[in-house]
């Protein structure tokens, strides 16, 4: 289950972008007699030599040997300046498994366009949509091998630490979960080791939006759920619903509409955005949201390590700065779109957007917790640290949820 999320209307705090400083040369050197000195003084007054508006930090010349000193004893050596390395022109292919629609596609296009703009056209990115360059499951290996230089890669259990970020029940706030995912893919040593093994550098993460359970009938108790066939998106969802007496079913994302219409399934776990994209409000009128059930999602934009090494320090800094900005822009886009989707679904399609009944919510979260522990036990028995990764991840979620509570969202003012 991967999709989009829900909205919170809170005030926020603005962040200031780093200030760029222009460099210029402003030192005048001269040695002469009074007449020449007077002439130079006049030139200084006319030309503004030494103006503080064009100050630059220079690098002192390296020490000279005795031979060099003797050979140049009568010469004045001017300090040398260190020029920033110039970025070579690069045309990069970005592998994207989904269609060119929705908040994720929109924000990735913005990210690609901004890299080109901020590098003055030196680094240009072409997104290949719909898995036409590399199929979604093969994106990580495809980028690592250089078939694509960049891509939106999805983890799998062969990378258990990274995949831990896709467990359900990560938190309550979408932006906080997005920021926590960003922190983890950039700072977790365990995830870094998995990325390094794949020969990629991560930039930023992802969250799919607000998870919901859409049903063809209304439920008021656990008994109403028992026996229903519900499409699931993640293993922990399947484990949790099984514990509630629901039969989890694997159905392709684009097969959900027909499966609901024909009665093959009774409902599906996915997100608000996907429910809208697939027009599921036409065939299922009850959309339920669980509490504290956001998903970070183990989808991460990655860059081939060899390509990253060809970026100058300035270009790397640009990518890192944009990756941080991406979180705010994407979260805001998702939240705004969800407001519009839910307004249309409830007013036009007569969908009921409801909280899951209390007993069902409690039972589901207890089952999710048990599924999480089973995941940790399975992979940590082999020497991994998935429990520690989850705990660190939850620490970031708590930190950013508190920031939202104290200051609001970054884009709100």
On whether the CB atoms of residues 126 and 92 are closer than 8 A, the answer is yes
Residues 184-208: what's their mean pLDDT?
A: 94
Tell me if residue 158 falls in helix, strand or coil: coil
Contact 5, 338 (CB under 8 A): yes
Q: Which pLDDT belongs to residue 79?
A: 53
Q: Are 120 and 90 in contact (CB under 8 A)?
A: no
- The whole-angstrom separation of Cα 184 and Cα 175 is 14
Strand partners, 299: 154
384 class by beta-carbon count within 10 Å (0-12 exposed, 13-18 middle, 19+ buried): middle
What are the residues whose beta carbons fall under 8 Å from the beta carbon of 233, sequence distance 6 or more?
1, 2, 269, 270
Task: pLDDT band for 252, please (50, 70, 90 cuts).
Answer: confident
Q: Is the per-residue pLDDT at 65 higher than 50?
A: no
Q: Is pTM beyond 0.85 here?
A: no
Highest-pLDDT range among 16-20, 47-51, 135-139, 284-288: 284-288
Alpha carbon separation from 18 to 24, 184, 308, 318 (Å, rounded): 19, 23, 22, 11
pLDDT tens-place string over residues 313-359:
999 999 999 999 999 999 999 999 999 999 999 999 999 999 999 99
With contact defined as beta carbons under 8 Å apart, do 203 and 239 qualify?
no
For the chain, list the domains and their CATH numbers.
Answer: 90-207+296-342+386-407 (3.40.190.170)
């Amino acid at each position: 289950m991967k999709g989009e999320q829900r909205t919170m209307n809170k005030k926020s705090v603005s962040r200031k972008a780093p200030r760029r400083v222009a460099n210029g040369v402003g030192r005048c050197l001269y040695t002469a007699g009074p007449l020449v000195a007077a002439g130079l003084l006049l030139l200084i007054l006319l030309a503004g030599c030494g103006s503080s508006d064009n100050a630059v930090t220079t690098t002192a010349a390296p020490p000279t040997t005795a031979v060099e000193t003797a050979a140049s004893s009568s010469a004045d050596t001017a300090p040398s300046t260190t020029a920033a390395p110039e970025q070579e022109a690069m045309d990069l292919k970005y592998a994207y498994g989904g269609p060119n629609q929705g908040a994720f596609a929109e924000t990735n296009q913005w990210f690609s366009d901004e890299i080109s703009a901020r590098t003055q056209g030196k680094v240009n990115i072409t997104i290949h949509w719909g898995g036409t360059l590399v199929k979604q499951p093969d994106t990580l290996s495809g980028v690592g091998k250089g078939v694509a230089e960049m891509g939106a890669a999805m983890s799998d259990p062969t990378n258990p630490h990274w995949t831990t970020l896709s467990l359900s029940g990560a938190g309550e706030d979408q932006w906080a979960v997005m920021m926590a995912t960003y922190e983890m893919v950039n700072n977790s040593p365990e995830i870094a080791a998995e990325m390094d093994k794949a020969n990629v550098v991560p930039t930023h993460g992802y969250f799919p939006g607000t998870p919901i359970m859409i049903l063809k009938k209304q439920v008021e108790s656990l008994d109403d759920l028992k026996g229903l066939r519900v499409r699931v998106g993640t293993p922990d969802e399947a484990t949790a619903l099984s514990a509630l007496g629901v039969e989890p079913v694997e159905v392709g994302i684009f097969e959900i509409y027909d499966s609901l219409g024909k009665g093959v399934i009774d409902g599906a776990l996915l997100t608000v955005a996907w429910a809208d994209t697939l027009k599921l409000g036409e065939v299922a009128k009850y959309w339920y949201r669980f509490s504290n059930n956001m998903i970070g999602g183990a989808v991460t934009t990655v860059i081939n390590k060899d390509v990253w090494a060809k970026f100058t320090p300035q270009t790397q800094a640009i990518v890192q700065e944009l990756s941080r900005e991406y979180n705010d822009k994407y979260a805001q886009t998702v939240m705004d779109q969800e407001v519009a989707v839910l307004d249309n679904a409830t007013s036009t399609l007569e969908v009921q957007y409801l909280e899951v009944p209390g007993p069902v919510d409690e039972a589901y979260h207890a089952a999710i917790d048990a599924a999480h522990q089973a995941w940790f036990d399975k992979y940590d028995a082999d020497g991994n640290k998935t429990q520690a990764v989850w705990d660190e991840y939850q620490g970031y979620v708590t930190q950013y949820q508190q920031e939202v509570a104290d200051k609001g969202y970054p884009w709100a003012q």
